Chains A and B, each alone.
Chain A
C-alpha cells in the first residue's frame, strides 16, 4: 500500500489471496481511507496482479475505487458490480459483468458469451470482440464492443444501449425491447421485427458523447440504428406530426 502523487494505491495478488479475502481487503482499504478524502482527486487505485482466468472473480464489489486487473479473468468476473471503475488488461470469460448495477467495466481484450447479461446499469466497454448473446436480457446500462460481436446480441433484453463497432452475427436485437442499438459494421441478419435506420441528429449527438465517454475512437456518423420496426414506424409518424399510436 502506498501513495503515488497524492493518489492512494493498493497492490494485491490473486495468486496469493482467494477471492473472498481479495474482496474483503479491497473493501476494508477503501473504507479505511475515510469519507473526508479529497473529492477532487481520482478514486483510489487497486492494482490486482496474478489474474490468470479465475472464474467468478471480484464479484459484487461496491466500492468507490479504480480497479486495474493485470491479466485475463474467467466466467462471471466482476458480476453484480456497483460504483467501481474496473479495467481488465486481458480477456474476460462468459457472463462478464453479469447483472452490473452501476460503475464501469473495461475489458481490454475479448469477451466470451453473454457479456453484460442481465445488467441493469453502468457501462461495459469491450475493446476487442465479444461472443454470442452480448447484452442478453439487459435491462439498462450501456455496452460498447469495439470489435465484432457474435450471434443473438441483445436477445431477451428489455432496455439499455448497445454500441457495436464491428460486424455482428445473426439475429441482432429483440423486437419487444426498448434496447437502442448502434452498429458501425454489418449485421449478418436482424432478429424478427427489427429494422435498420440511419441516425437522427439527436442520436448522433448522444452517440458521440457515449463514444467519448467510453474512450472509443470513431465518428458517430459512421453508425446506424437498429430498432424494432414498430418503434421505427411510430417515429416516422411522429416526424409527420401525426398522432402516435401505442406501438405495443
Chain B
C-alpha cells in the first residue's frame, strides 16, 4: 500500500465530496484511467492523440545514482505496467546489441542545453518534455551528474564516469532570445516528431510561462510544483479561463509526495497527470539485494540465477506498486461517480 503524508496545507484542507445523504445517486461506474493528450499541428488543429495507459510519469529517474543497466531493466518493466518513463535514446543504448530498444510509453526530455538529446529522441516517444529551467541536483546545483555526462557523451555503453565531471546545466535555451521563441521551437519539434509536447517549468514561473505555452500552441504544461499544488492549479486555472475551451492545454503536475487521494483532488482542480518520482525512485535507489527474494539472493551469491517463478521479485514489486497506485486512483474516482479522470470537476472536492 503506497501512502505518503502530504505537506501541502491547502490540499489537506480539501476532501473528496462524500455521497449525498438526502437522495439516491448511483455511483460506482468503472473508471478508465487511459489518458489522452491531443496533439496539434503547427496551425493548432488536433491531428491525433497520444494515448497513455495511466496519467502517471516517472519524470527524473535517478539512474546516474544507481546503475544504467538496472535502470534499463526497471524502466522497461515500469513502462510495460503502464507508467510513462522518461528516458533518452542514449540512456537506452548499450554495447549489447539487443538493448538498444525503446519502450512504450516513453517521455523524452529536451533540455535547454540539449544534454543527451539525439535525433532518435524525436522518433518514438509518446511525449516530448520541452524543459525550461532545471531541477536542482542532490547538492542543490543546477548541474548534470558525472555519470549522466558519461552516458550522454559516450554512447558506446562502456563509459567510464571517472573520465567525466559534473557540468553546469543551462536553464534557459541558449538559442532563444526571449520566450517568444518557444513557438518556433514547438514548430520545429512538430515537424520532426508526432509526440505530444509538454512544456515543463517551475511553478514560480507560471505567470510568465503558461501564457507562452498557450501562445506557442504546445499540447500542455508540466508544472514542477515547489509549493502547494492547489495554489498552482488555481493560478493555472485563472490563466486558462481566458481561453476558449478547445484551446486549453493539458496540465500535469510534478510535486513531492502526492498520494492517490491528493492526485484525485488535483485532478478535480484541473490537473490531468502526475509525476510519481517519490515512490518510483526507490526502484533504483533501494539496495538491489532488498528487491530480491531469499532464494534469488542465495542464487546470486553462488553466481547463478533463480527462476522458480516466471517473474523476479523486483519486477513483481514494480508491477504491484503501479497497479496498487492505479487502483487507489481508480477507486477514489469511482467513489465520486466520474467515469474517467477527465470528468472530475472542482465540485468533486470540498473544504473540510
Q: Which residues from 75 to 128 on chain A have a C-beta closer than 8 Å to any C-beta of chain B?
A: 75-76, 79-80, 93-95, 98-99, 101, 112-115, 117-118
Which of these, A93, A117, A155, contacts B114 with CB under 8 Å?
A117
Contact among B167, B175, B185 with A136 in the assembled complex (CB-CB below 8 Å)? B175
Which of A75, A139, A155 has a CB less than 8 Å from the CB of B170? Answer: A155
What residues on A are CB-neighbors of B149 within 8 Å? 158
A59 to B119 CA separation, bound complex (whole angstroms): 11
Whether A20 lies near B119 (C-beta < 8 A) is no
Q: Contact between A117 and B175 (Cβ–Cβ < 8 Å)?
A: yes
Bound complex: CA of A109 vs CA of B351, how far in Å?
A: 62
Q: Does A202 contact B (CB under 8 A)?
A: no
Q: In the complex, A133 Cα to B149 Cα: how many Å?
A: 21
Q: Shortest beta-carbon distance, A93 to chain B, in Å?
A: 8
Stretch touching chain A among B47-55, B100-108, B186-194, B327-335: B186-194
A60 at the binding interface (Cβ < 8 Å): yes
Contact B188 A118 (CB under 8 A): no
How far apart are the CA atoms of A73 and B40 in the complex, in Å? Answer: 24
In angstroms, how far is the closest chain A Cβ from the Cβ of B121? 10
Q: Which of B176, B188, B191 contacts A20 (CB 8 A)?
A: B191
Residues of A within 8 A of B177 (CB): 94, 112-113, 131-132
**Contact between A80 and B184, CB atoms less than 8 A apart:** no
Number of inter-chain CB pairs below 8 Å: 94
- Compute how far the CA of A157 lies from the CA of B115 in the bound complex, rounded to whole angstroms: 10
CB atoms of B187 and A55 under 8 A apart: yes
Residue contact A136 to B188, C-beta cutoff 8 Å: no
Cβ-based interface call for A141 (8 A): no
Chain A residues, Cβ within 8 Å of B119? 60, 80, 99, 101
The reply to whether A79 and B114 contact each other, CB–CB distance below 8 Å, is no
Which residues of chain B are within 8 angstroms of A117 by Cβ–Cβ distance? Answer: 114, 173-175
> Which residues on A sit within 8 Å (CB–CB) of B187?
55-56, 76
Does the CB pair A156–B175 fall under 8 Å? no
Describe A's contact surface by its main secondary structure: loop
Residue numbers in B under 8 Å from A210 (CB-CB): none
Check B113 for interface membership: any CB of A closer than 8 A.
yes
Residues A133 and B165 in contact in the complex (CB < 8 Å), given A76-B184, A118-B114: no
Assess whether B181 is interfacial by the CB under 8 Å rule. yes
Count of chain B residues with Cβ under 8 Å from any Cβ of A? 24
- Given A137-B113, A156-B170, verify A59-B176 contact (CB < 8 Å): no
With an 8 A cutoff between CB atoms, is A248 at the interface?
Answer: yes
* A14 interface residue (CB < 8 Å to B): no
Which residue of chain B has its CB nearest to the CB of A137? B113
In the bound complex, CA of A76 to CA of B175 (Å): 9
Evaluate contact between A155 and B174: CB separation under 8 angstroms: yes
* Cβ–Cβ < 8 Å partners of A114 in chain B: 173-176
A124 → chain B, closest Cβ, in Å? 13
Q: What residue of chain B has the Cβ atom nearest to residue A95's Cβ?
A: B175
Q: CB of A199 within 8 A of chain B? A: no
Q: Which of B120-161 contact A (CB under 8 A)?
A: 149, 153
B117 interface residue per 8 A CB criterion: yes
11 contacts between A and B (CB under 8 A): A55-B187, A59-B192, A76-B184, A80-B192, A94-B175, A94-B176, A99-B117, A117-B114, A136-B113, A155-B170, A156-B170
Which A residues have a C-beta under 8 Å from some C-beta of B?
A: 19-20, 55-56, 59-60, 74-76, 79-80, 93-95, 98-99, 101, 112-115, 117-118, 131-133, 136-137, 139, 152, 155-156, 158, 176, 248
Besides A95-B175, A113-B176, 11 new A-B residue pairs in contact (Cβ under 8 A), listed by A number:
A19-B191, A20-B191, A59-B191, A75-B175, A76-B185, A76-B188, A118-B114, A137-B113, A158-B149, A176-B167, A248-B165
